[in-house]
Amino acid sequence: MAATQMLAGFHAVIARLRQAPETIREVYVEAQRKDKRMQSLIDQVGKAGRPVHLVGADRLDGLSGGARHQGVVAVADARKLADDLDEVLDGVEGPALLLILDGVTDPHNLGACLRTADAAGVHAVVAPRDRAVGLNTTVQRVACGAAESVPYIMVTNLARTMRELKDRDIWLVGTDDQASEGIHQIQGKRSMGWVMGAEGEGMRRLTRETCDELVHIPMLGSVESLNVSVATAICLYETVRQRCLK
């Protein structure tokens, strides 16, 4: 029998219903909720031919493992993480855009990064197996469906993977507050990957040294750094801005 995972919250459940309804085994909803949003979800589950169970909030709390569920939890087949970056890149038309996360272990940060990556048209998010959080229930909820649409590839050796990407002419740009150039000076129209480190520690030394270019985010106020998900959004949308220019 295939492994299962819990999807908590409307966005995570609806995203799976749209993309792979056959992988949902059953859905549990809070019996006390009678609002239009819940009824719409129940209708979608019914159309997909999946069973719905009306339960109390305590049962939902247990199923979600304490994650915020908004009154809905689905039991679904665990979706296999994309594991072949070359296969993903071979299917890309035009310049590739990747997000490489080194040391992001907080599920809220990863979920927010995946959500922004989806919005910015990122082709894949890459992370090391030993210093990253997996696609757990919290990540699925915070990502608002993006965990279903953006390939999340965990690799054994991040520096080696980065070197392989460079061999494919993908320019790797890391963020470093000591860099002399700013993010607006990048050449975003070529195939590239943004390399982001964890808040506080930043990128590991070898990761930083493997980047082709280091840039800083202009900071005009008194704070010294930004949350990694905010910094990711700023960097990705600099690429989007440049690619949208005529």
Quickly state the pLDDT bin for 83 (edges 50, 70, 90): low
Is pTM, for the whole model, over 0.95?
A: no
Angle between helices 36-47 and 10-19 (to 10 degrees): 30
| Lowest-pLDDT choice from 62-71, 102-111, 138-147 | 138-147
Over 90: is that where the pLDDT of 67 sits?
A: no
**Per-chain mean pLDDT for the chain:** 89
Domains of the chain with CATH codes? 4-77 (3.30.1330.30), 85-244 (3.40.1280.10)
Over 60: is that where the pLDDT of 81 sits?
A: no
Quick one: average pLDDT of 99-118? Answer: 93
CA distances from 166 to 48, 94, 206, 211, 222 (A): 43, 16, 15, 9, 36
Quickly state the pLDDT bin for 23 (edges 50, 70, 90): confident
**Percent composition of the chain: helix, strand, coil (DSSP 3-state, to 5):** 40, 25, 35
Residue % of the chain over a pLDDT of 90: 58
Quickly state the pLDDT bin for 235 (edges 50, 70, 90): very high
Quick one: average pLDDT of 221-235? Answer: 90
Quick one: average pLDDT of 70-89? Answer: 79
Q: What is the per-residue pLDDT for 5? A: 81
Q: What is the per-residue pLDDT for 1? A: 53
Over 70: is that where the pLDDT of 25 sits?
A: yes
Greater model confidence, 138 or 213: 213
Over 80: is that where the pLDDT of 141 sits?
A: no
Q: What is the per-residue pLDDT for 82? A: 53
Quick one: average pLDDT of 34-45? Answer: 92
Q: What is the per-residue pLDDT for 79? A: 65
CA distances from 155 to 37, 103, 218 (A): 39, 12, 31
Residue 227 tokens, joined: 């949350």
Helical (H) or strand (E) element with 37: helix 36-47
Q: Are strands 97-102 and 192-197 parallel, antiparallel or unpaired?
A: parallel
Q: What are 162-215's pLDDT values in tens digits?
A: 999 999 999 999 998 889 999 999 999 999 999 999 877 789 999 999 999 999
